[in-house]
Amino acid sequence: MRKYWTVFWVNWQNALQYRGPTFISLLGNVLRVVVLLYLWNAIYRGEGRLGDYSLSDLITYYLLQMVINSIVLSYSSWEIVDQIREGTFSNFLVRPVNYLHYSFMINFSWKLFEGAMVLAAVGVLSFFLLPYITLPSRPETIFFFILALILGGFLSFAFDFAIGLLAFWLVQANAFKYMLQYIIFFFAGALLPLDLFPPLFQTVAKVLPFRYLVFFPIQIFLEKEPHPVEGLLAAALWGIGLYFFLQFVLRRGIARYEAVGQ
Amino acid sequence: MAVIEVKNLTKTFKTHRKEPGLLGSIKGLFWREAFYNEAVKAVSFSLEEGELVGFLGPNGAGKTTLLKMLSGILTPTFGEVRVLGFIPGERDRAYQRQFAIVMGQKNQLWWDLPPAESFALNRDIYGVDPKTFQSALDEMVSLLDLKDLLNVPVRQLSLGQRMKCELVAALLHQPKVLFLDEPTIGLDVISQEKIRGFIQEYNRLKRTTVLLTSHYMKDVEQLCRRVLVINHGRIVYDGSLEDLSHRYIDHKVIKIRFASPQAAAVLSGMEGVVELDAHHAVLKVKKKEVAQTTHRLLGRLPIEDLSVEEVEVDEVIRRIFEEQPSKEGG
């Protein structure tokens, strides 16, 4: 276990090297939220209304979406695809280390690092936005919300890891990667709250596990989620299932890598 | 007992031919012509503990494929490999803790961090206890003169410094077997020299079994008493470098510098002259005729300087490669 904590800390040092770029991309996200704020403000002042959402619900939705973007959503597949395609993946085959666990720790350390930065940004933003934010009324909401973030983080990593493993079979994995990532983001509710979509979409989104990444935690925070406990349990089950699935796919991928070489 | 035991090892890659252009790509989705490429063919050899053996061969000869099969990165299509009693393809943790592979073109150091961080990571991945780690590190740092570089980000290191650090990272767990794939590739002469010296010293001190590939003759000449020459996937020679030249080369080279230009005229047209101008000449002479020829030349010509040299190993190798044309054809 100790080795994976070292992986965590080494990548933490690595992330620190990127604090500049991370901060700048965060600034971009903040800017986007500010623009949305003006947009929704104008729409709602013109007596417009989106589904079940009050103005402060929507502002809160996008603010949380920004937080989740940094804390939950994984982009491990970038590195995984590169490592497999360029053959540096071999370094993991010859060392006593499990690639799934290793990649998880790398992702975990990135997410914590970005999380710290985004919380600082949100802290500053909320001075201006406090009147617009919907805060939870029940204390257990915060507890459920944090649990949902953790599970969302697990699941997001699992999906992205699976996407990265495509590189074992596809030479041009990157094109598929973008397509799949957009589908996941879409059904996660990263673009628009899922309950604003037509009923058919909503049914599909409900069956798919992607909503646990973004939509589900935010609904918990807004106290709009009717079954938080069931949802958390379902997310955990998905996580466990995906873990075994990924270990299996990784073994298959390695078998292919061993045969083809790089 | 042999540390490395390879019997009848064969690796065949299945590849597909793709017709050029978009149409070819679409066609390729439905029907592709498969063809097989035997990268390594029925190779057998074994290495004893502490040996330092060089793999020689041109690009694509199968050297890297062999090393990859020995480290468990590739599985053999056919045949047997055992290293330290393990089957590498099983990737037993106990095996992984006892060997290392350094690939000159595939780095494992973290680009944006000082090498010390990568070393610490390997320490914990291999479960080396801190004391052993520190003494192994100190020893290599002084051998390679890396003291001032441990805390400089890898991206700021020169290629040679980086290669030294790659070696350190690979050796921190004190492997019993070390595979080096082109460890000096792209390095300047001085760095090559340093790395070579280190490998030699390390092998001598630790009795680590080392198998290295290189296209630089110098590497092999200085380091390896035994070489395996591989060409088109087959081992064509297994033995010492000296025997290699005895077996394949039956002549020596005589180099002459003339004291006066008239001498050149005498030599022109003579058998065995490979190079000739007004000031010097190079002759290829059968080994048993060297003494006689030298004597005759010195007696007859105004010669300022004369030397008798062995044919360079480079040329020996080139000979071997030319002698063994591919019979498979693609």
Q: Counting Cβ atoms within 10 Å, is residue A31 exposed (0-12), middle (13-18) or buried (19+)? A: exposed
| Cβ A159 vs Cβ A165: under 8 Å | no
Inter-chain residue contact B122 with A90, CB threshold 8 Å:
no
What is the spatial distance between Cα A99 and Cα A89, in angstroms, rounded to a whole number?
A: 9
Least reliable range by pLDDT among A257-261, B119-123, B202-206, B224-228: A257-261
Helix (H) or strand (E) holding B306: strand B303-309
Average pLDDT value over all residues in chain A: 91
Of B89, B106, B125, the CB nearest to A97: B125
Q: Domain check: are B133 and B263 in the same one?
A: no
Q: What are phi and psi of B296, to 5 degrees?
A: -65, -45
- Position B301 scores a pLDDT of 83
Q: Give which of B49, B171, B189 is closest to B108, Cα–Cα.
A: B171
Find the CATH number of the domain harbouring B77: 3.40.50.300
Q: Domain check: are B287 and B162 in the same one?
A: no
Chain B residues near residue A18 by CB distance under 8 angstroms = 112
Asked if residue B180 is part of any domain, the answer here is yes
Asked if residue B325 is part of any domain, the answer here is no
Q: What is the pLDDT of residues A80-97, one digit of tens each?
A: 999 999 889 999 999 999
Q: What is the pLDDT of residues B47-96, one digit of tens each?
A: 999 999 999 888 888 899 999 999 999 999 999 999 999 999 999 999 99
Counted domains in chain A: 1
Domain that holds residue B301: 250-309
Q: Which residue reads 């020996």 in tokens?
A: B316
* B72 Cβ under 8 Å from any chain A Cβ: yes
- State the complex-level ipTM: 0.88
Q: What is the pLDDT of residues B250-265, one digit of tens each?
A: 888 899 888 887 777 7
Asked if residue B321 is part of any domain, the answer here is no
What is the spatial distance between Cα A116 and Cα B244, in angstroms, rounded to a whole number?
A: 64
Asked if residue B317 is part of any domain, the answer here is no
Q: Domain check: are B272 and B126 in the same one?
A: no
pLDDT grade for B330, boundaries at 50, 70 and 90: very low
Domain boundary at B201, B218, B246, which? B246
Asked if residue B124 is part of any domain, the answer here is yes
Q: Domain check: are B282 and B157 in the same one?
A: no
Q: Domain check: are B149 and B277 in the same one?
A: no
Q: Is the pLDDT score of A255 beyond 50?
A: yes
Average pLDDT value over all residues in chain B: 88
Helix (H) or strand (E) holding B145: none
Q: Is the pLDDT score of B328 beyond 50?
A: no
Domain that holds residue A232: 2-260
What is the spatial distance between Cα B96 and Cα B104, in angstroms, rounded to a whole number?
A: 19
Inter-chain residue contact A261 with B97, CB threshold 8 Å:
no
* B107 Cβ under 8 Å from any chain A Cβ: yes
Find the CATH number of the domain harbouring B287: 3.30.70
Q: Which residue reads 């589908």 in tokens?
A: A183
Of A10, A13, A95, the CB nearest to B96: A95
Asked if residue B327 is part of any domain, the answer here is no
Q: Domain check: are B76 and B214 in the same one?
A: yes
Asked if residue B316 is part of any domain, the answer here is no
Q: Domain check: are B224 and B112 in the same one?
A: yes
Tell me, letter by letter, the H, E, C secondary structure of A8-52.
HHHHHHHHHHCHHHHHHHHHHHHHHHHHHHHHHHHHHHCCCCECC
- Position B325 scores a pLDDT of 52
Q: Domain check: are B79 and B102 in the same one?
A: yes
Q: Domain check: are B167 and B290 in the same one?
A: no
Of B72, B121, B124, the CB nearest to A94: B72
- Position B274 scores a pLDDT of 85
**Model-wide pTM > 0.80:** yes
Task: Report helix, strand or coil for B51.
Answer: coil
* A204 Cβ under 8 Å from any chain B Cβ: no
Q: Beta strand pairing status for B273-276 and B251-258?
A: unpaired
Q: What is the pLDDT of residues B178-224, one digit of tens each?
A: 999 999 988 999 999 999 999 999 999 999 999 999 877 788 888 99
Asked if residue B186 is part of any domain, the answer here is yes
Chain A residues near residue B175 by CB distance under 8 angstroms = none
Q: Domain check: are B183 and B262 in the same one?
A: no
Of A13, A97, A258, the CB nearest to B73: A258
Q: Domain check: are B177 and B217 in the same one?
A: yes
Q: Beta strand pairing status for B4-17 and B33-47?
A: antiparallel
* B68 Cβ under 8 Å from any chain A Cβ: yes
Chain B residues near residue A14 by CB distance under 8 angstroms = 110, 112-113, 117
Chain B residues near residue A261 by CB distance under 8 angstroms = 13, 65, 68, 73-74
What is the token pair recorded at B298? 């010195």
Q: Domain check: are B255 and B238 in the same one?
A: no
- Position B243 scores a pLDDT of 85
